[in-house]
Amino acid sequence: MALDQTDIDENEKNMSFFDHISELRGHIVRSLIAVIIGAILAFVFNDFVMNTLIFGPRSKDFFTYKLFRAIHIDMNPELFKFTIINTDVTGQFIMGLMIAFVVGLIAAFPYVIYEFWRFFKPALKPEEQKKTSGIIIISSGLFLIGVLFGYFLLAPVSLFFMASYSISDQINNTWTIQSYISFMSMLTVATGLIFELPLVMYFLAKMGLINAAFLKKYRRYAILIIVIVAAIVTPPDAGSQILVSIPLLILYEVGVIITKRVEKKDQTES
């Protein structure tokens, strides 16, 4: 006799600790497979990934520079020339694998979120399952916005500062491929994850760990933490830190509004 959905949900709730671990392992494995597939595709189309995406901010035809020129901001990449070198025998191959993995992670991010949502889904009530299904789209959207923000705005501005700054005319900028790739990865992936702040605040509010009054009371400390985080993920120039700090402050305020709505909804339902 076939089990109905209620029986299936009840069986899932009665799973033992080791059953949950086994279930989690399955979701992690499927997520890794999705990342690996994305990484393989990125590795196959290595020329496009490297020359168009990774080295895009070095070209004068990059979208950001065209936009800056349109609003009369002089930021010509030809003015801050730098050389990228490889100093290790296996350096380019290892960097190729690393770049493929990062691109695969970004491409598979929505599916990874979906897999983890499926893992937590049995613990939610039917109405909660319907409400949280949109989290996949919201989380993926915030991550994508953060990645695009880091790639199209933060990366070129930071490169401009780091490559044009000089303490002596006798020093030429020669960067290793490892340094450049780490720089680009930090500015894109890290920014994408940081943009998940409103979603993190939503879940903390749902668990009762934070509330609007708490967020308002400690706003000045939150601002300090945001500035520190911006300083960590960006080069040591004020322009890049401000570029990161402003959207984070906006996201924090959005999180405060979301927290207020969660509180009102919980009060209405109680």
pLDDT in tens, 125-145: 777 667 677 788 888 999 999
C-alpha 27 chain-centroid distance: 20
Q: Which amino acid is at 138?
A: I
Q: What is the pTM of this model?
A: 0.78
Strand partners, 174: 83
Calculate the average pLDDT of the chain.
82
Q: Which amino acid is at 160?
A: F
Q: Tell me how far apart the alpha carbons of residues 191 and 188 are, in angstroms, rounded to a whole number.
A: 5
What pLDDT digit, counting tens, does each position of 70-113 carry? 887 777 666 667 888 998 899 899 999 999 999 999 999 999 98
156 membership: H or E segment, kind and range: helix 155-164
Check residue 210 and give left, alpha or beta (phi > 0: left; psi -120 to 50: alpha). Answer: beta
- Which residue from 160, 104, 114 is spatially nearest to 137, judged by alpha carbons? 114
Q: Tell me how far apart the alpha carbons of residues 175 and 168 are, in angstroms, rounded to a whole number.
A: 17
Q: Tell me how far apart the alpha carbons of residues 213 and 172 are, in angstroms, rounded to a whole number.
A: 52
What pLDDT digit, counting tens, does each position of 120-130 carry? 777 667 776 67
pLDDT at 211 over 70: yes
